[in-house]
Structure 1
Amino acid sequence: MHIVVMTVEMSLPGCRSLKEKRQRMGGLHERFGRNPAVAVCESGALDRLETSEWTFVVAGIDGRRVEALCQEIEDKLQRTVDGRVLEVTREPL
């Protein structure tokens, strides 16, 4: 079993309220949480408007598939979130 904990920090320039932050980050649970190999949660910067931190736990039997899924998540975040990815850390368990 291969498990990777991936933490993504994103910048949300110009975000003026927690409501706007939720709208800009909206749907991450629904988009990624449907996959049974992925668990996702907002893990930091909960009350900071211009920053958002999310953690994804990706598990699978094949290490290459787990790595590919992590890359897919990162790519999709860069394409779909109204902000920019500042930092991505991956920690294998």
Structure 2
Amino acid sequence: MFIAVLTLEFSLPGCVSLKEKRQRMGGLHERFGRNPAVAVCESGQHDRLEASEWTFVVTGNERQKVESLCSEIEDKLQRTVDGRVSKVSLDML
């Protein structure tokens, strides 16, 4: 069993309310939580409007598949989130 912990920090320039932050980051649970190999949560930056941190735990029987899924998640977030990724951390357990 392989486990990866993928953490991404986002910069949300110009975000002025919690409602706007949720709209800009919205849907991550629904998009990625459907996959039984992925757990997702907002893991940091709760008190800042112009930043957000999300962590994804990815599991699988093959290291290559786990790494590939992490790469897919990162690529999709880069394209779909209304903000920019400021930091990415990937830890294999």
What band does the TM-score fall into relative to the shorter chain?
Answer: over 0.9
- What is the match of residue 30 of structure 2? 30
SS in 1 for 2:78: helix
Tell whether the 8 Å contact from 1:4 to 1:91 is kept in structure 2 after alignment: yes
SS in 2 for 1:36: coil
Distance 2:36 2:63 in 1: 16
Counterpart residue type for residue 16 of structure 1: V
- What is the match of residue 44 of structure 1? 44
Distance 1:43 1:87 in 2: 14
SS in 2 for 1:46: coil
Indicate yes or no: 2:70 matched with 1:73: no
- What is the match of residue 87 of structure 2? 87
Tell whether the 8 Å contact from 1:24 to 1:82 is kept in structure 2 after alignment: yes
Could you tell me which runs of 5 or more consecutive residues in structure 1 were left unpaired when the two chains were aligned. none
Tell whether the 8 Å contact from 1:18 to 1:47 is kept in structure 2 after alignment: no
Give 1:47 shift: 1.5
Could you tell me which runs of 5 or more consecutive residues in structure 2 were left unpaired when the two chains were aligned. none
Q: Percent identity?
A: 75
- Give the TM-score normalised by the residue count of structure 2: 0.99
After TM superposition, what 4+ stretches of structure 1 lie above 3 angstroms from structure 2?
none
Give 1:79 shift: 0.4
